[in-house]
Amino acid sequence: MLVVHIARVASLLIVITLVTSAPIRADPAPGPRLRLTEPRLRAILDVGRRESPLFRALVDQLETGDVVVYVQCARLRTRLDGELTFLTKAAGVRYVMVRIAWDLPLPRKIAILGHELQHALEIAGSPDVVSAATLAAAYERFGFTRNRGYDRLDFDSIAAIETGMTISRQLAERDDGE
């Protein structure tokens, strides 16, 4: 378990180093705002955009903001299918990491990613979110916390929960219609 935790921290430090060491340009974060860390995630994005109008809208909205979202498949804690972590703010751009449980069926991964993208848009709509601490304060305003034990608080919002459920329904309707 300690090795897994160290690996997670190391991967986040690598991303932070890459993000903060990049030279400042006119466009502080050139390229897409949604960045996949591995090729197997492409199916989640492609199927989600094709099969769910809401998922497609989330991705499109994200491209207009100042939040860059890195997406990674990972082994997550029990009963956790996805999570968003605030990484850093650099050159006017905020960076977050979304981790999706690797062992879920594709439709569930798409819905979970949509849920987490809703969180990214909530951050984009809150310019005061510039750190993990200000993220926690923001969720006290527009979301809620869940105590997961061991001094761990997780944050969520009704909008993100509804987003995930709507995407799940849209995907199920597409499956039923074919």
Give a yes or no: residue 100 inside a domain: yes
pLDDT at 2: 40
Phi, psi of 91 (to 5 degrees): 50, 40
Name the residue type at position 49.
R
Residue 168: predicted pLDDT: 96
10: confidence class by pLDDT, cuts 50, 70, 90: very low
In a domain, 20, yes or no: no
Q: Is residue 90 part of a domain?
A: yes
Domain coverage including residue 40 = 32-177
Q: Flag whether 168 is in a domain.
A: yes
CB neighbour burial string for 35-62, b if at least 16 within 10 angstroms, e if fewer: bbbeeebeebbebbbebbebbeebbebb
Residue with tokens 């990972």: 74
Prediction pTM value: 0.80
Contacts 24+ apart (CB under 8 A), 136-140: none
Number of domains within the chain: 1
Mean pLDDT of the chain: 83
User: Would you say residue 145 lies in a domain?
Assistant: yes
Residue 44 belongs to some domain of the structure? yes
The pLDDT, as a whole number, for residue 151 is 58
Mean pLDDT for 74-100 is 90
Over pLDDT 90: what percentage of the chain?
A: 60
Each residue's pLDDT tens digit, 130-165: 999 999 889 888 888 766 556 566 789 999 999 999
Instruction: Identify whether 74 is part of a domain.
Output: yes
Q: Classify residue 15: in a domain, yes or no.
A: no
pLDDT at 127: 95
